[in-house]
C-alpha cells in the first residue's frame, strides 16, 4: 500500500494536550490508580441541550474531531472511522442499572440507543451532516491501528482523499471497580508505579480521545507520513524481535534506520517484558515511553501517535519520555510498539513528512 499523510492531530488526554507547547508541558502521572482526562469547556463546542445527553467519550470525541478538522482546513471528511475498545460504557452501565432498578420493566430506550460502540462516529457525522462512509472498529488495543489501515485502504483505492480517523475510551465507575478487583489496576500499596522497572503487576488506568485527518496528499500542516502498520493478536515473547524485524524488512529498513522507538511500558511487570525484548533490538535509537503520561487504556496508542506526530513535526524529544540518552540530529523514522496485557500487538511506522 502507498503511504498516506497525517495532516492534523488533536488529543484530549490526562495531559493538557489541547493547548500549545504540548511537548514542554508533559507531567508524569504515577501516584494514583486511576487518572481522568483534562476536559475542555464543552459549551464552547456543543449546544448545552445536547451536552446533557452525551456521554463523556462522545463529548471528548466531538471536541477532538472538531480540532482535527479545523487544523486540516476540512469541513466534511470523505469518511469517518473511529476505533474504541470499550465504546460508550457510561451509557451501557446506566442502561443496565435501569434494567435492575426497574425490574426489567418500563425502560426508556435512550441509554440503550446511546450505548452502542458506533455512537461516537454516528454523533460526529450527525454534527457535520456527513453522509459518507462511517465505520467503527472494536479491536481492544489495536482499534486505532485497524482504523488507520482502513483509511489507508480507502485512500489507496481512490474511495476517499481526506479521512477523519479517531480513537476514544472513557472510564466508568463500575468497570473501574471490577478492574481493581481482578488486579488489572494496581493496588494502592504498589504506588507510585515504576513504569520501566516494575516488579508488580497491574497498571494505572487512563482515558482519552485522539483524532487525526489522514490524507492522500502532503499539506502545509502535515505532521507525518503514515508508512505502514502491522498487527498480531497473539505473540510469544521469544517472537518479539522477529515480529519487528520482519516488519522493518518489509519496508526496506533495518533497526539502524529507526531514529526513535516509542514503547508502551505500562508498569505491568509481566506484559512489559515484550517491550524490554523490543528495546534490546535498538541500541542506537532514541528509546521512549509514554504510559506514565497517559495511563493505560484500550486506545492509549492514540496518545502515542499524537505525541509521535509532534516529535516529527517539531523535531524535539521530551526528556520526560526518554529511556536512554541517545539524541538524534534529525528524527526521520519513528516506530510505535503497543499491546494491552500481552495481547493485540501493533507496530506503526511514521516518517517525517
For the chain, list the domains and their CATH numbers. Answer: 4-215 (3.40.47.10), 225-352 (3.40.47.10)
How many alpha carbons lie under 13 Å from residue 227 in its C-beta half-sphere?
20
Confidence category of residue 212, pLDDT binned at 50, 70, 90: very high
CA distance 306 to 213: 12
Taking 80 as the threshold, does the pLDDT of residue 243 lie above it? yes
In whole angstroms, how large is the CA radius of gyration of the chain?
20
What nine digits make up the cell of 59?
463529548
- Block residue for cell numbers 475510551: 169
Question: For position 86, what pLDDT does the model report?
Answer: 93
Q: What is the mean pLDDT of residues 115-124?
A: 92
Confidence category of residue 13, pLDDT binned at 50, 70, 90: very high
Confidence category of residue 50, pLDDT binned at 50, 70, 90: confident
pTM: 0.95
Taking 80 as the threshold, does the pLDDT of residue 111 lie above it? no
The SS3 call for residue 128 is: helix
Question: For position 234, what pLDDT does the model report?
Answer: 95
pLDDT in tens, 74-101: 999 999 999 999 998 888 888 888 888 8
CA distance 275 to 142: 16
Question: For position 115, what pLDDT does the model report?
Answer: 82
The two counts, helices (H) then strands (E), for the chain are: 11, 10
Q: What is the mean pLDDT of residues 240-256?
A: 98
CA distance 151 to 14: 27
pLDDT in tens, 281-324: 999 999 999 999 999 999 999 999 999 999 999 999 999 999 99
Question: For position 228, what pLDDT does the model report?
Answer: 97
Question: For position 52, what pLDDT does the model report?
Answer: 83
Neighbours of 149 (CB within 10 A): 22
Amino acid at each position: 500500500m502507498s503511504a498516506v499523510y497525517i495532516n492534523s492531530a488533536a488529543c484530549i488526554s490526562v495531559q493538557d494536550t489541547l493547548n500549545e507547547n504540548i511537548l514542554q508541558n508533559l507531567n508524569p502521572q504515577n501516584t494514583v490508580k486511576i487518572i481522568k482526562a483534562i476536559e475542555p469547556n464543552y459549551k464552547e463546542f456543543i449546544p448545552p441541550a445536547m451536552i446533557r445527553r452525551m456521554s463523556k467519550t462522545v463529548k471528548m470525541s466531538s471536541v477532538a474531531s472538531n480540532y482535527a478538522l479545523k487544523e486540516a482546513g476540512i469541513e466534511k471528511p470523505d469518511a469517518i472511522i473511529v476505533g474504541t475498545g470499550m465504546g460508550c460504557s457510561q451509557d451501557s452501565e446506566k442502561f443496565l442499572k435501569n434494567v435492575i432498578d426497574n425490574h426489567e420493566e418500563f425502560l426508556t430506550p435512550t441509554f440503550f440507543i446511546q450505548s452502542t460502540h458506533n455512537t461516537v462516529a454516528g454523533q460526529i457525522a450527525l454534527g457535520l451532516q456527513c453522509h459518507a462512509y462511517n465505520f467503527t472498529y472494536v479491536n481492544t488495543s489495536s482499534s486505532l491501528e485497524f482504523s488507520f489501515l482502513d483509511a489507508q485502504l480507502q485512500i489507496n483505492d481512490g474511495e476517499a482523499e481526506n479521512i477523519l480517523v479517531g480513537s476514544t475510551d472513557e472510564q466508568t465507575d463500575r468497570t473501574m471497580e471490577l478492574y481493581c478487583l481482578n488486579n488489572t489496576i494496581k493496588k494502592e500499596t504498589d504506588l507510585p508505579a515504576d513504569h520501566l522497572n516494575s516488579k508488580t503487576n497491574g497498571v494505572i488506568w487512563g482515558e482519552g480521545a485522539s483524532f487525526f485527518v489522514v490524507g492522500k496528499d502532503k499539506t502545509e500542516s502535515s505532521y507525518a507520513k503514515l508508512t505502514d502498520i502491522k498487527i498480531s493478536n497473539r505473540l510469544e515473547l521469544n517472537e518479539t524481535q522477529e515480529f519487528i524485524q520482519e516488519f522493518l524488512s518489509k519496508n526496506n529498513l533495518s533497526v539502524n534506520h529507526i531514529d526513535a522507538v516509542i514503547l508502551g511500558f505500562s508498569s505491568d511487570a509481566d506484559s512489559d517484558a515484550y517491550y524490554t525484548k523490543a528495546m534490546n533490538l535498538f541500541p542506537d535509537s532514541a528509546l521512549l515511553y509514554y504510559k506514565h503520561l497517559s495511563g493505560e487504556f484500550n486506545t492509549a496508542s492514540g496518545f502515542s501517535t499524537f505525541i509521535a506526530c509532534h516529535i516529527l513535526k517539531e523535531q524535539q524529544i521530551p526528556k520526560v519520555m526518554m529511556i536512554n540518552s541517545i539524541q538524534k540530529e534529525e528524527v526521520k523514522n519513528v516506530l510505535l510498539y503497543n499491546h494491552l496485557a500481552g495481547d493485540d500487538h501493533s507496530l506503526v511506522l511514521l516518517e517525517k513528512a
